[in-house]
């Protein structure tokens, strides 16, 4: 396709999207709120899970996967939460168009890490169910580092970035500036402290409203993992997802110094054990 044709398609598409969005906002009062939310974690398979679930005829995904309403958004200069309930509802289906057994959902992987989101979610949708996909925190931290490296936002080496994390985050956490770039992009180790993050949600939601999957289970036994989600959300458990290709998989990892693995494994060991005790499930990390 020529550059001119590509440009023309882009300009045609943009007005159409704007018209659709205006319609969705106009009809926001008739739209549903989510029945369940995939809250994270980042680099753990939320994109794949979202795509798998969207194939189920009774599961209706949000207009965009990552709405980032309850965490305010990914850009420091924006605040999606300040846009209010109508803006959020506009991302979901019209209630009267949903079948009696249908469920709608979204997936924003920063929700699990942002301390403000549990209360915000509870205030708007107190009966909502939550799905967390957790990956081996050592592998997750390394994956996030290379994600930031690809974006050009991380000047330090992997080892330096991990060791500098506490110093980088301290002033941001003290100010509770959870919308800052440092908090979002440089929290390699902190995002793997899953027990702390889940406990923040357990202050507002009962454990029976939270389903925790491991990333390893999702990709090694996807049908089993999806069956758990189907049962948890109350849809037909007999449906078989056909397209199970992993989504958003990065392939630019360099050779990792064994010292980095040793450092992260030692760092996470006590935290992982506490997580296993909380969930009654040993993920073998």
Q: Is the pTM of this model over 0.85?
A: yes
Residue with tokens 């309403």: 69
* The dihedral sign for the CA sequence 35, 64, 131, 187: negative
Domain boundaries, the chain: 32-279
Over residues 255-273, mean pLDDT: 96
**CATH: 3.40.50.300, 3.30.450.30, 3.30.565.10, 3.50.50.60. Which one for 32-279?**
3.40.50.300
pLDDT exceeds cutoff 80 at 280: yes
* More confident: 251 or 40: 40
Q: What is the pLDDT of residues 159-200, one digit of tens each?
A: 999 999 999 999 999 999 999 999 999 999 999 999 999 999
Q: Give whole-number Cα distances, 90 to 63, 126, 227, in Å.
A: 8, 19, 29
Classified as helix, coil or strand, 196 is helix
Over residues 80-84, mean pLDDT: 97
Over residues 78-94, mean pLDDT: 97
Over residues 108-129, mean pLDDT: 98
Q: Give whole-number Cα distances, 45 to 55, 205, 279, in Å.
A: 16, 23, 20
Over residues 259-273, mean pLDDT: 98
CA nearest neighbour of 80 among 129, 116, 104: 116
**Strand intervals (E) in the chain:** 36-40, 59-61, 103-107, 129-134, 210-214
Q: Give whole-number Cα distances, 34 to 73, 102, 120, 237, in Å.
A: 18, 11, 14, 20
pLDDT exceeds cutoff 60 at 224: yes
Residue 99, sorted as left (phi over 0), alpha (psi -120 to 50) or beta, turns out to be beta
Over residues 109-118, mean pLDDT: 98
pLDDT exceeds cutoff 70 at 9: no
């Amino acid at each position: 396709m020529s550059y001119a044709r590509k440009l023309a398609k882009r300009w045609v598409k943009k007005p159409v999207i704007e018209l659709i969005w205006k319609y969705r906002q106009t009809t926001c009062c008739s739209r549903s709120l989510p029945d369940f939310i995939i809250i994270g974690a980042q680099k753990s398979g939320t994109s794949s899970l979202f795509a798998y679930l969207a194939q189920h005829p009774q599961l209706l995904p949000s207009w965009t996967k990552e709405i980032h309403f309850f965490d305010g958004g990914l850009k420091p200069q924006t605040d999606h939460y300040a846009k209010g309930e109508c803006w959020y509802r506009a991302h979901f289906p019209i209630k009267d168009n949903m079948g009696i057994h249908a469920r709608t959902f979204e997936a924003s992987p920063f929700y699990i890490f942002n301390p403000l989101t549990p209360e915000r979610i509870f205030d708007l949708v107190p009966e909502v169910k939550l799905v967390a996909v957790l990956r081996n925190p050592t592998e997750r931290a390394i994956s996030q580092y290379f994600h930031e490296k690809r974006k050009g936002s991380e000047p330090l080496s992997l080892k330096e970035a991990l060791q500098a994390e506490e110093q980088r985050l301290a002033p941001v956490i003290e100010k509770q500036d959870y919308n800052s770039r440092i908090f979002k992009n440089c929290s390699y180790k902190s995002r793997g402290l899953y027990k702390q993050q889940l406990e923040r949600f357990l202050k507002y939601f009962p454990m029976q409203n939270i389903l925790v999957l491991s990333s390893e289970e999702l990709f090694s036994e996807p049908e089993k993992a999806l069956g758990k989600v189907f049962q948890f959300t109350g849809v037909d458990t007999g449906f078989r997802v056909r397209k199970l290709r992993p989504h958003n998989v990065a392939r630019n990892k360099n050779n990792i110094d064994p010292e980095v693995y040793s450092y992260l494994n030692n760092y996470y060991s006590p935290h992982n054990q506490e997580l296993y005790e909380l969930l009654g499930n040993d993920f073998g990390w």
